[in-house]
Amino acid sequence: MSLIHPTALIDPSASLDSTVEVGPYTVIGPHVKIGAGTTVGAHCVIEGHTTIGRDNRIFQFNSLGAIPQDKKYAGEPCELVIGDRNTIREFCTFNIGSPGDKGVTRVGDDNWIMAYVHLAHDCTVGNKTIFANNTQLAGHVEVGDWVIFGGFTVVHQFVRIGPHAMTAMCSLLFADVPPFVMTQGQPAGARSMNFEGLRRRGYSAERIAAVKAMHKALYRDDLTLEQATARIDALRTERPEAAEDVELMLGFLRGTSAQRGIVR
């Protein structure tokens, strides 16, 4: 029995693995590629230069690969690239990239994306993230691995969210969120570090203690960002067991623009 519902409209030029399932009334355009084991629900539209990997679960009523909501866009062949084993729930909208940036909107692997999530043009999402319902990302946002967004989180364009960060429900982000930081508010401020999430991911007590020390430097000791960065840099030798975590934080802080800054 065919895995493609007879009411689905699939352009002959689209490339779908023979194991892909497509539900009723879904429309798939000519430049779409979908890998093995992926399922696409009913009433979806997948268009543009969109590449989707293996074993994704795409629920009904999604719009993937539409042109960016950018007045400067003039039909350039920009892309949407989605990795493997992602769950994309109902009514999500993922746009392709724009020629003013990378030209690619990219989603990694093993992400859990709930209903009504919007990924604007040129967003980059890592692996193993969770997007609760109605998370909205403006253009050019970068999201690290293991990030968790509370429902109705809204992120300003060009903001970066570091790995293992977490937002509370209804957070409004105008500044970068460093790794491990938990934020809440409108605009969002730093409230703590995501200690429970780190424990669940197998972080040792020693590594968590180093994350606490970084939190103290950034948010508790009334230091400038430059002074806090120097304090964190010293942890590389003071806490060698957490050198990887310290390097993650330093790399993020050194990539923060003066215009955007970090949540404080």
Do 121 and 106 form a contact (C-beta atoms < 8 A)? no
- The two tokens of residue 69 are 């909501």
Q: Which residues are catalytic?
A: 121-122, 139
Q: What is the pLDDT of residue 100?
A: 85
For 87, other C-beta atoms within 10 Å of its C-beta total: 14
| 191 SS3 class | strand
CA distances from 169 to 1, 103, 127, 196, 264 (A): 44, 30, 21, 17, 18
Sign of CA dihedral 154, 156, 158, 163: negative
**In a structure prediction context, what are the per-residue pLDDT tens digits for the chain, which is 264 residues long?**
579 999 999 999 999 999 999 999 999 999 999 999 999 999 999 999 999 999 999 999 999 999 999 999 999 999 999 999 999 999 999 999 999 899 999 999 999 999 999 999 999 999 999 999 999 999 999 999 999 999 999 999 999 999 999 999 999 999 999 999 999 999 999 999 999 999 999 999 999 999 999 999 999 999 999 999 999 999 999 999 999 999 999 999 999 887 789 999
Q: Order of strands, edge to edge, in the sheet holding 33-34?
A: 15-16, 33-34, 49-52, 79-82, 104-107, 124-125, 142-143, 160-161
CA distances from 243 to 105, 232, 234, 250 (A): 31, 10, 10, 10
- The two tokens of residue 173 are 């982000």
Distance CA 63, CA 47 (A): 8
Say what the pTM is. Answer: 0.96
